[in-house]
Chain A
């Protein structure tokens, strides 16, 4: 299939998926299914955004919890204390988390000795610091009594479902666009050998900053949508370490470094958690730990690459 046909097929498939998913709540599916799908959209966003930085550049981040929690609280604070229209709190949350990423990147991405494991450590520190700041100021949480909106958008049924769906597909589109672009090639070069990338003229600092900021922007917005949906933002909930660990597991399980892997991983894992653990937190963590080990041993390249290599093997043997 030529590249153009591949592109057309991909766009048509994504558009059809979006249309079906958009229509589902209006076709009478249960409220539970609407909530379940909303959570899938949020997890896909988190996994895809994690992959944009960590999968494409190799800079492993544990900072998703910091961005998710900060995004949620930025939205809640702007809504509750400043009476800002909820829909405007969403970009505010994005700006806050992008600013956090930019600030951290300005320091860590310039220093050679902060590559690899040390970068991962600095993102853990960011998570600790941001959660402490939030706990010290809003430790008892924020109740978004009435999510204020000056426009009638919030009167639309399933509005948070729609917002989460839009964010999910926007994340997928951005990830796919980066994967096929010059930026993507630069990020893969950085992942494979950062010094060689610099030697060939790639501005590794700018490229990493861009990936980090895009990643954190998407997570911040996800946090804001989550806050508006549950209407009660509590540090222990939105700063849960699961928001860092689950996207990592989802991306690895699906196929880290590919644009489609995190989607597969997020969909599979969210379903597993719901079916097996029924959403129970302790059980979820047991499954998480076991799956992490199992995936590392048996599926190091992820489901997507496993399926792809199987498909290629079948095609090769069909040709012989």
Chain B
């Protein structure tokens, strides 16, 4: 069953069609990769799904319910939580406070859940540190942890490995694999094809705002359109 259905979505900015008649389906308990060159419309599509942009046409269904045009906070509370391409933690709040912003009220605070997430992020010893004082990679991990605190049905990660060291990439990849073992549904935008090939069950490829391929990583990496538009001679 599809958790998320994006149907014929189009979005233009002035004369530029950033997303052109794109349809994708994200089945439950699947890790779906979204790849494509810079400017291909990946983040715009995610912004549309998360409610930050309203599509010019098309519909989005989440768990069978129409969410097109809903406000971002409404969509987040329905179960779709996203991270940002450039990390956006609450820099003047502590690590623990950042996690708590995901709760609807203080009554929802669950010490065990917080401990588990901090352990997963390897930030247990930094829970009272101001988020702005963390390294960029740790902020990336914190942002994912904050999203996980919301127990989302669909977690959208926007280029989680961009701008961080190989060590943190390794931690992040292990984290996503752990989430996959817990049957989380994840939509991940990435340029790091090693990460995509390692963790994604299926991959969708965008180019110039259009979907040009969809399939397993092996299938799309042999697609001529994908090779010429994006991955060249990449081998994982």
**Which A residues contact B (CB, under 8 angstroms)?**
181-182, 185-186, 188-189, 191-193, 195-204, 257
Report whether A195 and B102 are in contact in the complex, using a CB–CB cutoff of 8 Å.
no
Report whether B76 and A198 are in contact in the complex, using a CB–CB cutoff of 8 Å.
yes
* Chain B: interface size category: 20 to 34
A191 vs B77: C-alpha distance in the bound complex, in angstroms?
A: 20
Q: Which one of B52, B88, B92, B102 contacts A188 once the chains associate, using CB atoms below 8 Å?
A: B92
Which A-B residue pairs are the 8 nearest by beta carbons? Answer: A201-B76, A192-B90, A196-B88, A198-B72, A201-B77, A198-B73, A189-B101, A203-B73
Complex interface bits, B50-69 against A, C-beta within 8 A gives 1, otherwise 0: 10100000000000000000
Besides A192-B91, A257-B92, 15 other A-B contacts (C-beta < 8 A): A185-B97, A188-B90, A189-B90, A193-B88, A193-B89, A196-B88, A196-B89, A197-B73, A198-B73, A198-B76, A200-B76, A200-B146, A200-B150, A201-B104, A202-B73
Report whether A201 and B90 are in contact in the complex, using a CB–CB cutoff of 8 Å.
no
**Which B residues contact A (CB, under 8 angstroms)?**
50, 52, 71-73, 76-77, 81-82, 84, 88-93, 97, 100-106, 146-147, 150
Q: Which chain A positions have C-beta within 8 A of B89? A: 193, 196
Report whether B147 and A192 are in contact in the complex, using a CB–CB cutoff of 8 Å.
no
Report whether B93 and A192 are in contact in the complex, using a CB–CB cutoff of 8 Å.
yes
Q: Which chain A positions have C-beta within 8 A of B147? A: 200
Report whether B101 and A186 are in contact in the complex, using a CB–CB cutoff of 8 Å.
yes
Q: Which chain B positions have C-beta within 8 A of A192? A: 90-93
Report whether A201 and B92 are in contact in the complex, using a CB–CB cutoff of 8 Å.
no
A129 vs B93: C-alpha distance in the bound complex, in angstroms?
A: 37
A-B contact pairs, 10 of them (CB 8 A): A188-B93, A189-B90, A189-B101, A196-B89, A198-B71, A198-B76, A199-B72, A199-B88, A200-B81, A200-B150
Report whether A199 and B101 are in contact in the complex, using a CB–CB cutoff of 8 Å.
no
Closest to A202 in B: B73
> What's the least CB distance linking A252 to chain B, in Å?
16
Report whether B105 and A182 are in contact in the complex, using a CB–CB cutoff of 8 Å.
yes
Closest to A188 in B: B93
Report whether A195 and B52 are in contact in the complex, using a CB–CB cutoff of 8 Å.
yes
Closest to A186 in B: B101
Q: Which chain B positions have C-beta within 8 A of A193? A: 88-91
Most chain A CB within 10 A, of B76, B77, B84, B101, is at B101
A304 vs B101: C-alpha distance in the bound complex, in angstroms?
A: 25
Report whether B93 and A201 are in contact in the complex, using a CB–CB cutoff of 8 Å.
no
A227 vs B82: C-alpha distance in the bound complex, in angstroms?
A: 51
Closest to A190 in B: B90
Most chain B CB within 10 A, of A182, A192, A202, A203, is at A192
Report whether B90 and A199 are in contact in the complex, using a CB–CB cutoff of 8 Å.
no
Report whether B101 and A185 are in contact in the complex, using a CB–CB cutoff of 8 Å.
yes
Closest to A191 in B: B92
Report whether A199 and B76 are in contact in the complex, using a CB–CB cutoff of 8 Å.
yes
Most chain A CB within 10 A, of B81, B92, B102, is at B92
A204 vs B101: C-alpha distance in the bound complex, in angstroms?
A: 12
Closest to A196 in B: B88
Q: Which chain B positions have C-beta within 8 A of A199? A: 50, 52, 72-73, 76, 81-82, 84, 88
A199 vs B106: C-alpha distance in the bound complex, in angstroms?
A: 19
A181 vs B102: C-alpha distance in the bound complex, in angstroms?
A: 14
Q: Which chain B positions have C-beta within 8 A of A196? A: 84, 88-90
A204 vs B89: C-alpha distance in the bound complex, in angstroms?
A: 16
> What's the least CB distance linking A177 to chain B, in Å?
13
A186 vs B100: C-alpha distance in the bound complex, in angstroms?
A: 10
Q: Which chain B positions have C-beta within 8 A of A203? A: 71, 73
A181 vs B106: C-alpha distance in the bound complex, in angstroms?
A: 8
Q: Which chain A positions have C-beta within 8 A of B105? A: 182
A191 vs B82: C-alpha distance in the bound complex, in angstroms?
A: 19
A193 vs B88: C-alpha distance in the bound complex, in angstroms?
A: 7
A193 vs B89: C-alpha distance in the bound complex, in angstroms?
A: 8
Q: Which chain A positions have C-beta within 8 A of B73? A: 197-204
User: In the complex where A191-B92, A193-B90 touch, is A201 in contact with B106 (Cβ < 8 A)?
Assistant: no
Q: Which one of B52, B101, B106 contacts A200 once the chains associate, using CB atoms below 8 Å?
A: B101
A103 vs B229: C-alpha distance in the bound complex, in angstroms?
A: 52
A195 vs B102: C-alpha distance in the bound complex, in angstroms?
A: 13
A78 vs B8: C-alpha distance in the bound complex, in angstroms?
A: 59
> What's the least CB distance linking A162 to chain B, in Å?
34
A198 vs B82: C-alpha distance in the bound complex, in angstroms?
A: 10
A204 vs B90: C-alpha distance in the bound complex, in angstroms?
A: 14
> What's the least CB distance linking B93 to chain A, in Å?
6
A202 vs B39: C-alpha distance in the bound complex, in angstroms?
A: 29
A185 vs B76: C-alpha distance in the bound complex, in angstroms?
A: 17
A234 vs B147: C-alpha distance in the bound complex, in angstroms?
A: 53
Q: Which chain B positions have C-beta within 8 A of A186? A: 101
Q: Which chain B positions have C-beta within 8 A of A191? A: 92
Report whether A195 and B88 are in contact in the complex, using a CB–CB cutoff of 8 Å.
yes
A224 vs B126: C-alpha distance in the bound complex, in angstroms?
A: 48
A181 vs B72: C-alpha distance in the bound complex, in angstroms?
A: 23
Closest to B98 in A: A189
A197 vs B146: C-alpha distance in the bound complex, in angstroms?
A: 11
Most chain A CB within 10 A, of B52, B73, B97, B104, is at B73
